[in-house]
Amino acid sequence: MRVIVVGAGVLGTLHAWHAVERGHQVLHIEREAEARGASVRNFGQIWVSGRAGGAELDTALRARELWEGIGARVPGIGFRAIGSLTVVRNDTEYAVAEAATRRPDATARGYRLLDADRARALNPALRGDFTAALWCERDAAVEPRVAQRALKEALSASGRYTYLGGREVRDVVGERAVRDDHGATHHGDAVILCTGAWLGGLVRELVPDLPVRRVRLQMMQTDPLGEPLTTSIADADSFRYYPAYRGDALDALNADQAQTPTAADHKMQLLMVQRADGGLTIGDTHEYDTPFAFDTVEEPYEHLTGVVETILGRPLPRIRHRWAGVYAQCTDTSRVVHRQQVRDGVWLITGPGGRGMTCSPAIAETTANALGW
């Protein structure tokens, strides 16, 4: 088959990967020279720990398995099976973590509740103030700024992959063909549209009532820490944003322990991952109401700096990058992704939300299976 994939973010790139793996020819079209959206503006976390039980967790676990296999073949993606620690500081937060370890799928996630000493033995950089931590062994990380590039290089080596950057697809032409803004028409046996947060233009014309929204976030990255951060890190505010933690204990946390005004106003949690160069990627915020602000604001960064320094027990290195990003999320947040046939042989796949980097390999595998690749 000849498969046309539109969009070179992680979701599109993994669709191209599965097509090439199954022996097909792939034409990969991206409107920028390289992907510049949420796929490169995230933590690079393969985040199993907070996923909803059932289909979402199954997708994340399968994706985690696929990422590990891809990482063994393409070291440039920077796959690391580092796990995560979600630190807690009082009895109410502890109760949410403890309830998570009693989930029927806790073993599949690799949950264990550790006291502070055992958490520090696992991650010696945590010298600050906390009482315990929820360990999730199945969490992992990749390097988001370079992963797509490394995957493209591996795909190109197959001899069955062609990349066209700087080409915006403007139209779906009949069946199984697209026209780009250079006037070229590209024909294939299947067209996969992975357009990310680009929901206007062609996407709106194809699906005017698409059940997907855009979400904006702010993040930052520091200079090298100067020592290994051996796991990714989250704080107890993250319990409020992930479905795995819902239940009576979380209800009690929400009732008894409000977020700080800054964290509440910006719908914040702490997530933190160390990059290959030793710097820390730290975030994040959530903004749902459009039109989004065009600028970043400082208060969330100040809040995150304070939280991180409390956990690390030391000053944060100099912040060298600050950025905002936008991703696409299904309005029915219980859905992992929106997958829709929009023409004969043409599929739109979008809206994984904050699950994109985690789940893309398994989402793409599901598409390949459904289309009989």
Q: Distance between terminal CA atoms of the chain? A: 8
User: What pLDDT does residue 174 have?
Assistant: 86
Total-model pTM: 0.96
Regions in the chain scoring below 70 on pLDDT: none
Could you tell me if 320 and 281 lie in one domain? yes
User: What pLDDT does residue 175 have?
Assistant: 86
User: What pLDDT does residue 358 have?
Assistant: 97
User: What pLDDT does residue 30 have?
Assistant: 97
Tokens 């929820």 correspond to what residue? 134
Mean pLDDT, rounded, of the chain: 97
| Structural domain boundaries enclosing 351 | 1-78+143-210+335-373
- In this structure, the number of other CB atoms found within 10 A of the CB of residue 102 comes to 11
- In this structure, the number of other CB atoms found within 10 A of the CB of residue 54 comes to 11
- Torsions phi, psi of 132, nearest 5? -165, 175
Radius of gyration for the chain, computed over Cα atoms and rounded to the nearest angstrom: 21
Could you tell me if 197 and 316 lie in one domain? no
Could you tell me if 341 and 226 lie in one domain? no
Find the CATH number of the domain harbouring 304: 3.30.9.10
3-state SS, one letter per residue, for 228-260 = CCCCEEECHHHHHHCHHHCCHHHHHHHHHCCCC
Is residue 231 within 8 Å of residue 312, measured between CB atoms? no
Could you tell me if 117 and 226 lie in one domain? yes
Could you tell me if 238 and 164 lie in one domain? no
67 in helix, strand or coil?
helix
